[in-house]
Structure 1
Amino acid sequence: MTGRRGGRPLVPAYLSTGGVARPSRAHLERLSVLTGSGEPAPAELPAAQTALLEELEHGSLTVLEASALLRLPVSAVLVLAADLLDRHLVLARPPIPPARRFDPDLLKRVADGLRDLKHR
Protein backbone atom coordinates (compact mmCIF):
# COMPACT_ATOMS: atom_id res chain seq x y z
CA MET A 1 0.00 0.00 0.00
CA THR A 2 2.97 2.28 -0.39
CA GLY A 3 3.51 4.52 -3.31
CA ARG A 4 6.52 6.57 -2.30
CA ARG A 5 10.17 5.83 -1.84
CA GLY A 6 11.02 5.31 1.79
CA GLY A 7 7.85 3.28 2.30
CA ARG A 8 5.65 6.10 3.57
CA PRO A 9 2.05 5.35 2.58
CA LEU A 10 0.20 7.67 0.26
CA VAL A 11 -2.96 7.07 2.26
CA PRO A 12 -2.95 7.15 6.06
CA ALA A 13 -3.83 3.81 7.66
CA TYR A 14 -7.05 5.11 9.22
CA LEU A 15 -8.36 5.94 5.75
CA SER A 16 -7.70 2.39 4.55
CA THR A 17 -10.22 1.21 7.15
CA GLY A 18 -12.81 3.84 6.20
CA GLY A 19 -12.15 5.65 9.47
CA VAL A 20 -13.08 2.61 11.57
CA ALA A 21 -10.75 2.30 14.55
CA ARG A 22 -11.79 -1.04 16.07
CA PRO A 23 -12.53 -4.42 14.51
CA SER A 24 -16.08 -5.74 14.73
CA ARG A 25 -14.75 -9.05 16.06
CA ALA A 26 -12.82 -9.06 19.30
CA HIS A 27 -11.50 -12.62 18.87
CA LEU A 28 -9.07 -11.73 16.08
CA GLU A 29 -5.45 -11.65 17.21
CA ARG A 30 -2.14 -10.75 15.61
CA LEU A 31 -1.43 -14.46 15.05
CA SER A 32 -4.93 -15.39 13.85
CA VAL A 33 -4.66 -17.22 10.53
CA LEU A 34 -6.63 -15.72 7.63
CA THR A 35 -7.70 -17.66 4.54
CA GLY A 36 -9.77 -16.54 1.59
CA SER A 37 -13.22 -18.16 1.54
CA GLY A 38 -13.30 -18.47 -2.25
CA GLU A 39 -16.40 -16.31 -2.50
CA PRO A 40 -16.26 -13.70 -5.28
CA ALA A 41 -15.42 -10.21 -4.04
CA PRO A 42 -17.97 -7.49 -4.76
CA ALA A 43 -16.86 -4.75 -7.15
CA GLU A 44 -17.39 -1.99 -4.57
CA LEU A 45 -14.90 -3.48 -2.11
CA PRO A 46 -12.43 -0.85 -0.81
CA ALA A 47 -8.89 -1.00 -2.21
CA ALA A 48 -7.26 -2.08 1.06
CA GLN A 49 -9.66 -5.01 1.45
CA THR A 50 -9.13 -5.99 -2.18
CA ALA A 51 -5.36 -5.94 -1.57
CA LEU A 52 -5.78 -8.19 1.48
CA LEU A 53 -7.90 -10.65 -0.51
CA GLU A 54 -5.29 -10.68 -3.29
CA GLU A 55 -2.58 -11.57 -0.76
CA LEU A 56 -4.77 -14.40 0.55
CA GLU A 57 -5.12 -15.88 -2.96
CA HIS A 58 -1.59 -17.26 -2.54
CA GLY A 59 -2.45 -19.07 0.70
CA SER A 60 -3.13 -18.45 4.35
CA LEU A 61 -1.45 -15.64 6.29
CA THR A 62 -1.44 -14.49 9.85
CA VAL A 63 -2.72 -10.98 10.54
CA LEU A 64 0.86 -10.00 11.32
CA GLU A 65 2.16 -11.31 7.97
CA ALA A 66 -0.64 -9.57 6.09
CA SER A 67 0.22 -6.37 7.92
CA ALA A 68 3.82 -6.58 6.77
CA LEU A 69 2.90 -7.39 3.16
CA LEU A 70 0.34 -4.57 2.95
CA ARG A 71 2.57 -2.17 4.89
CA LEU A 72 -0.28 -1.28 7.19
CA PRO A 73 -0.43 -1.29 10.98
CA VAL A 74 -1.69 -4.50 12.57
CA SER A 75 -4.66 -2.57 13.99
CA ALA A 76 -5.73 -1.56 10.47
CA VAL A 77 -5.44 -5.12 9.15
CA LEU A 78 -7.52 -6.36 12.10
CA VAL A 79 -10.29 -3.94 11.08
CA LEU A 80 -10.04 -4.95 7.39
CA ALA A 81 -10.04 -8.67 8.21
CA ALA A 82 -13.00 -8.35 10.59
CA ASP A 83 -15.04 -6.61 7.89
CA LEU A 84 -14.11 -9.31 5.36
CA LEU A 85 -15.12 -11.95 7.92
CA ASP A 86 -18.48 -10.22 8.33
CA ARG A 87 -18.90 -10.37 4.53
CA HIS A 88 -17.92 -14.09 4.49
CA LEU A 89 -15.00 -13.35 2.16
CA VAL A 90 -12.35 -14.50 4.65
CA LEU A 91 -12.13 -17.34 7.14
CA ALA A 92 -10.11 -17.02 10.35
CA ARG A 93 -8.89 -19.48 12.90
CA PRO A 94 -7.17 -18.79 16.19
CA PRO A 95 -3.43 -19.23 16.43
CA ILE A 96 -2.12 -22.66 17.32
CA PRO A 97 -1.36 -22.64 21.04
CA PRO A 98 2.20 -23.42 22.10
CA ALA A 99 2.80 -27.07 22.83
CA ARG A 100 2.91 -28.09 26.46
CA ARG A 101 6.25 -29.25 27.70
CA PHE A 102 6.53 -33.04 27.73
CA ASP A 103 6.74 -34.96 30.96
CA PRO A 104 10.36 -36.23 31.28
CA ASP A 105 9.21 -39.00 33.64
CA LEU A 106 6.79 -40.31 31.00
CA LEU A 107 9.54 -40.28 28.37
CA LYS A 108 11.84 -42.23 30.71
CA ARG A 109 9.13 -44.85 31.42
CA VAL A 110 8.49 -45.32 27.68
CA ALA A 111 12.23 -45.74 27.00
CA ASP A 112 12.52 -48.24 29.87
CA GLY A 113 9.52 -50.16 28.55
CA LEU A 114 11.01 -50.32 25.05
CA ARG A 115 14.31 -51.62 26.47
CA ASP A 116 12.44 -54.30 28.42
CA LEU A 117 10.62 -55.40 25.26
CA LYS A 118 13.90 -55.58 23.34
CA HIS A 119 15.52 -57.84 25.96
CA ARG A 120 12.65 -60.35 26.18
Structure 2
Amino acid sequence: MDRVNLREKFALFADHWSPRIVGALNGQHVKLAKFLGEFVWHHHEHEDELFLVVSGRLRMEFRDRHVWLAEGEFLIVPRGVEHRPVADEEAHVLLFEPASTVNTGNIQDDRTVSELERI
Protein backbone atom coordinates (compact mmCIF):
# COMPACT_ATOMS: atom_id res chain seq x y z
CA MET A 1 0.00 0.00 0.00
CA ASP A 2 2.51 2.54 -1.21
CA ARG A 3 1.71 5.88 -2.76
CA VAL A 4 2.58 6.13 -6.47
CA ASN A 5 3.77 9.44 -7.92
CA LEU A 6 3.20 9.39 -11.67
CA ARG A 7 5.76 12.13 -12.44
CA GLU A 8 8.45 10.23 -10.57
CA LYS A 9 7.59 6.98 -12.32
CA PHE A 10 7.57 8.58 -15.80
CA ALA A 11 11.02 10.04 -15.04
CA LEU A 12 12.43 6.50 -14.64
CA PHE A 13 12.30 5.64 -18.36
CA ALA A 14 12.67 7.35 -21.73
CA ASP A 15 11.74 4.79 -24.39
CA HIS A 16 8.47 4.86 -26.28
CA TRP A 17 5.79 2.17 -26.70
CA SER A 18 7.20 0.01 -23.88
CA PRO A 19 4.73 -0.03 -20.96
CA ARG A 20 5.88 -0.39 -17.34
CA ILE A 21 3.73 -1.84 -14.57
CA VAL A 22 3.18 0.53 -11.63
CA GLY A 23 0.34 -1.31 -9.90
CA ALA A 24 -1.88 -4.37 -9.93
CA LEU A 25 -5.39 -5.04 -8.63
CA ASN A 26 -8.04 -7.67 -9.23
CA GLY A 27 -6.18 -9.23 -12.15
CA GLN A 28 -5.65 -5.83 -13.77
CA HIS A 29 -2.43 -3.89 -14.36
CA VAL A 30 -1.93 -0.17 -14.09
CA LYS A 31 0.77 0.65 -16.65
CA LEU A 32 2.63 3.75 -17.75
CA ALA A 33 3.94 4.32 -21.26
CA LYS A 34 5.38 7.11 -23.33
CA PHE A 35 3.95 7.40 -26.83
CA LEU A 36 5.61 9.11 -29.79
CA GLY A 37 4.78 8.59 -33.45
CA GLU A 38 2.47 5.90 -34.78
CA PHE A 39 1.93 2.52 -33.16
CA VAL A 40 0.86 -0.62 -34.99
CA TRP A 41 -2.76 -1.34 -35.97
CA HIS A 42 -4.00 -4.09 -33.64
CA HIS A 43 -6.87 -5.38 -31.53
CA HIS A 44 -7.25 -7.46 -28.37
CA GLU A 45 -9.47 -10.52 -28.57
CA HIS A 46 -10.33 -10.71 -24.86
CA GLU A 47 -9.32 -7.45 -23.19
CA ASP A 48 -10.74 -3.95 -22.97
CA GLU A 49 -8.16 -1.17 -22.57
CA LEU A 50 -8.34 2.19 -20.84
CA PHE A 51 -6.00 4.96 -22.07
CA LEU A 52 -5.67 8.01 -19.77
CA VAL A 53 -3.52 10.88 -21.04
CA VAL A 54 -1.42 12.20 -18.15
CA SER A 55 0.47 14.73 -20.26
CA GLY A 56 0.55 15.65 -23.92
CA ARG A 57 -2.02 14.70 -26.49
CA LEU A 58 -2.91 11.49 -28.29
CA ARG A 59 -5.03 10.49 -31.27
CA MET A 60 -6.68 7.08 -31.16
CA GLU A 61 -7.31 5.96 -34.69
CA PHE A 62 -10.04 3.54 -35.64
CA ARG A 63 -10.68 2.33 -39.19
CA ASP A 64 -13.75 4.56 -39.50
CA ARG A 65 -12.80 7.59 -37.36
CA HIS A 66 -10.33 8.95 -34.83
CA VAL A 67 -10.64 10.41 -31.33
CA TRP A 68 -8.34 13.08 -29.87
CA LEU A 69 -7.47 12.80 -26.20
CA ALA A 70 -6.00 15.72 -24.24
CA GLU A 71 -4.37 15.77 -20.84
CA GLY A 72 -6.77 14.46 -18.20
CA GLU A 73 -9.00 12.63 -20.71
CA PHE A 74 -9.42 8.90 -21.16
CA LEU A 75 -10.89 6.48 -23.66
CA ILE A 76 -11.88 2.84 -23.30
CA VAL A 77 -11.25 0.69 -26.35
CA PRO A 78 -13.51 -2.38 -26.20
CA ARG A 79 -12.10 -5.83 -26.92
CA GLY A 80 -12.07 -6.76 -30.58
CA VAL A 81 -11.95 -3.16 -31.85
CA GLU A 82 -8.99 -2.47 -34.15
CA HIS A 83 -7.13 0.68 -33.15
CA ARG A 84 -3.83 2.53 -33.44
CA PRO A 85 -2.57 5.14 -30.97
CA VAL A 86 -0.69 8.07 -32.51
CA ALA A 87 1.17 10.88 -30.72
CA ASP A 88 2.60 13.68 -32.86
CA GLU A 89 4.58 14.85 -29.81
CA GLU A 90 5.47 12.78 -26.76
CA ALA A 91 2.48 11.82 -24.62
CA HIS A 92 2.56 10.18 -21.19
CA VAL A 93 -0.23 7.64 -20.88
CA LEU A 94 -1.64 5.53 -18.04
CA LEU A 95 -3.13 2.24 -19.19
CA PHE A 96 -5.53 0.13 -17.16
CA GLU A 97 -6.09 -3.34 -18.56
CA PRO A 98 -6.16 -7.05 -17.67
CA ALA A 99 -2.77 -8.49 -16.74
CA SER A 100 -2.96 -10.79 -19.77
CA THR A 101 -2.93 -7.85 -22.22
CA VAL A 102 -0.01 -7.76 -24.67
CA ASN A 103 0.72 -4.24 -25.93
CA THR A 104 0.49 -5.21 -29.63
CA GLY A 105 -2.58 -7.41 -29.20
CA ASN A 106 -3.03 -9.80 -32.11
CA ILE A 107 0.19 -8.60 -33.80
CA GLN A 108 3.69 -9.86 -32.97
CA ASP A 109 6.45 -7.49 -34.11
CA ASP A 110 9.51 -5.64 -32.85
CA ARG A 111 7.33 -3.48 -30.57
CA THR A 112 5.78 -6.45 -28.77
CA VAL A 113 6.76 -6.45 -25.09
CA SER A 114 6.22 -9.89 -23.57
CA GLU A 115 7.84 -9.30 -20.16
CA LEU A 116 6.86 -5.98 -18.61
CA GLU A 117 9.16 -4.25 -16.18
CA ARG A 118 7.74 -3.22 -12.81
CA ILE A 119 8.77 0.19 -11.61
Tell me the TM-score range normalised by the shorter chain: under 0.3
TM-score, with normalisation over the residues of structure 2?
0.25
Bigger helix fraction: 1
Structure label with greater radius of gyration: 1
TM-score, with normalisation over the residues of structure 1?
0.25
